[in-house]
Every structure is written in structure tokens, then in C-alpha cells.
């Protein structure tokens, strides 16, 4: 898919674990893993907002467009 999810990159920069982020934003680690591995079909604005809030970043840091 042309949309790349960079949650793991931002997490690494913040030295934060996936589990901690999942707990902080109130979603399961499994769902966050689906997002991280690019298997997700869509992301809710509320989820994106929560991720950006806790990682103190912009949506553009999380999502990236790369043409196929």
C-alpha cells in the first residue's frame, strides 16, 4: 500500500514501547500492531489524535505517502 505507517519510528525516537502507547491511548496491543505492520484498512481520527497527543507529533510523522 502507498501509505506507510511510521508509528514504530516515532516510538523508537521517543524510546517508548508499543505496549505503553496502547495503554495510554486505550486500544489493544493487537490493534496497534495491526496499525504498525500496515495491515489496517483505516485509522479513526480519534485514534490518530490520541497517538499524536501522546507521542507529541503531527499526523504527518505517523503517516507517509510513498507511490508504489
Residue 55 near other proteins by CB under 8 A: no
Q: Kindly indicate which of the ranges 12-20, 39-47, 54-62 contains the residues binding other proteins, using the contact rule CB under 8 A.
A: 39-47
Q: Each residue of 36-61: b (16+ CB within 10 Å) or e?
A: beeebeeeeeebeebbbeebebeeeb
Selected binder of other proteins within 34, 52, 57, 63 (CB under 8 A): 34
Asked whether 57 and 10 are in contact (CB, 8 A), the reply is yes
CB of 11 to other proteins, least distance (A): 15
CB of 57 to other proteins, least distance (A): 17
Amino acid at each position: 500500500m502507498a501509505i506507510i505507517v511510521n508509528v514504530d519510528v516515532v516510538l523508537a525516537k521517543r524510546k517508548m514501547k508499543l505496549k505503553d502507547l496502547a495503554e495510554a491511548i486505550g486500544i489493544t496491543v493487537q490493534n496497534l500492531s495491526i496499525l504498525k505492520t500496515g495491515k489496517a484498512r483505516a485509522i479513526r481520527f480519534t485514534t490518530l489524535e490520541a497517538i499524536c497527543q501522546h507521542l507529541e507529533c503531527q499526523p504527518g510523522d505517523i503517516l507517509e505517502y510513498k507511490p508504489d
